Structure 1
């Protein structure tokens, strides 16, 4: 059986290097391309350099060159770059796994539009554990919809540029949908000064940035006389890489359509 030909965007970044290492270690995939911004000092170098392997795949900023042999592209970059990559992939039949966060509503709508032309898995977190946690939150929220205050606390490294994290927002969306609320209406993203009593229908968010924290998320259901906390902690980005490879495998049979990690992991049927 021929191997799946996978390219990586943001190849010189922390996540890009982890993805390349995971692809090189897999038995059913091969690295077919590596993209980065034109200003990157890594342009023209071998994509396997950080993993100590010579791949013959050079990092480039040119989409036509970087994707000429690719069937799939994995992208954990920035919204504007990801949308540019997706438009190219949609026109050339390249399926895409998107782990980029920070999209506004217009960006999400554009992804849905382009997914009509090519298969896309789009999720704010590719970790298998995080997505199982999302399913647990959906189930818990239905039982804690009345009499419990819901707060989401997330922590990431000092270099993360968006807040709250895409995973925290996804947690809020899953909980809000489960209990019949609209996160755009009930989400509270900042508190300062005399805020008054807490609105019992609200879902609060708190953000921590510091050091090299890979990603911690806790959802607190606080009632009278008890509280329940559901927590997921990442100690390595490798879990995001392994989840991304599972998403690539899922897209083998999907020529078009928009999917998420619940589809990949079969969690929607639960």
Structure 2
């Protein structure tokens, strides 16, 4: 049994992960972490499921000594703190957190020299299949088509565009042999003038309880191709995360992404 720690144990994603682990045959929840100010501190991690696991939610990162792998969907500053503790205790980590700056990404890369790390903008198996479809479409539709990336998330999401939307733009740009930063249009307002050829536009919605919608439009003369992924709940992210944790079970070091985990 692989021993799993969950960061943000009382949050929406944390609880989804805990429930998925409870239903698995080869993974066992041994550590549940939350912020020191969380009202869930001291509670049983599976109390919300109507049963007790014996795993008490704690803010002590020393608890990671009881885990083989941490799954983290928190925020960049929290994840980086957890990453350091994982290095101390030689615990692998699956990172679903988005919004890292260059320094944060460098810290993750450095940590992968001493522990196993899966780091991806989206852990969903379906989303990663969508990335593959986008690569194929972008190579075929490499001239005469304007590309727009649309994404929508719940009102609590703190970064925009989402890491998934940015990755979608990167997939298209790379298929065109370009760097996303050179072709991205992150926002539009006022008198923008005609749309430039070869650019990739982004638009964002934040509101309500939207789990996650992403669409990439390839707009040509007389036709429009849309490649869409919609999440109705967080179960897909949890399943992908558990697959990533299983992948790391026999890894001591290294930085891996979800296409590698999924064999894509």
Whether TM-score is above 0.5 comes out as yes
Q: In the alignment, which residue of structure 2 is the partner of 1:187?
A: 184
- Any gaps of 5 or more consecutive residues in structure 1? none
For 1:108 and 1:201, locate their aligned partners in 2 and report how far apart those are by CA, in whole Å: 28
Moved over 3 A (4+): none
Q: In the alignment, which residue of structure 1 is the partner of 2:53?
A: 55
For 2:263 and 2:48, locate their aligned partners in 1 and report how far apart those are by CA, in whole Å: 34
Q: In the alignment, which residue of structure 1 is the partner of 2:73?
A: 76
1:140-180 per-position Cα deviation (integer Å, ceiling 9, x unaligned): 11111111100000011111111111110111111111111
Kept in 2: contact 1:188–1:204 (CA 8 A): yes
For 2:172 and 2:115, locate their aligned partners in 1 and report how far apart those are by CA, in whole Å: 29
Q: In the alignment, which residue of structure 2 is the partner of 1:98?
A: 95
- For 1:37-56, what aligned pairs fall within 5 Å after superposition? 37-56=35-54
Kept in 1: contact 2:112–2:254 (CA 8 A): yes
Look up the SS of the partner of 1:220 in the other structure. strand
For 2:144 and 2:251, locate their aligned partners in 1 and report how far apart those are by CA, in whole Å: 43
Kept in 1: contact 2:123–2:240 (CA 8 A): yes
1:12-62 per-position Cα deviation (integer Å, ceiling 9, x unaligned): 100000001111110001101010110100011111111222011111111
Q: In the alignment, which residue of structure 1 is the partner of 2:164?
A: 167
Indicate yes or no: 2:116 matched with 1:116: no
Residue of structure 2 aligned with 1:4, choices 2, 11, 25: 2
Q: In the alignment, which residue of structure 1 is the partner of 2:195?
A: 198
- For 1:131-150, what aligned pairs fall within 5 Å after superposition? 131-150=128-147
For 2:100 and 2:122, locate their aligned partners in 1 and report how far apart those are by CA, in whole Å: 13
Indicate yes or no: 2:21 matched with 1:23: yes
For 2:109 and 2:175, locate their aligned partners in 1 and report how far apart those are by CA, in whole Å: 22
Moved more, 3-12 or 103-112: 103-112
Kept in 2: contact 1:91–1:117 (CA 8 A): no
So what's the TM-score if we normalise by structure 2? Answer: 0.98
For 1:187 and 1:91, locate their aligned partners in 2 and report how far apart those are by CA, in whole Å: 39
For 2:48 and 2:235, locate their aligned partners in 1 and report how far apart those are by CA, in whole Å: 15
Q: In the alignment, which residue of structure 2 is the partner of 1:212?
A: 209
Residue of structure 2 aligned with 1:260, choices 253, 257, 262: 257
How far the C-alpha of 1:87 sits from its partner, in A, is 1.3
How far the C-alpha of 1:91 sits from its partner, in A, is 2.5
Q: What is the root-mean-square deviation of aligned Cα atoms in Å?
A: 0.8
Q: In the alignment, which residue of structure 2 is the partner of 1:178?
A: 175
Kept in 1: contact 2:123–2:238 (CA 8 A): yes
Aligned residue pairs total 264
For 1:116 and 1:176, locate their aligned partners in 2 and report how far apart those are by CA, in whole Å: 29
Look up the SS of the partner of 1:236 in the other structure. coil
1:190-235 per-position Cα deviation (integer Å, ceiling 9, x unaligned): 1000011111121100001111111000000001111100000000
Kept in 1: contact 2:65–2:91 (CA 8 A): no
Look up the SS of the partner of 1:253 in the other structure. coil
- Any gaps of 5 or more consecutive residues in structure 2? none
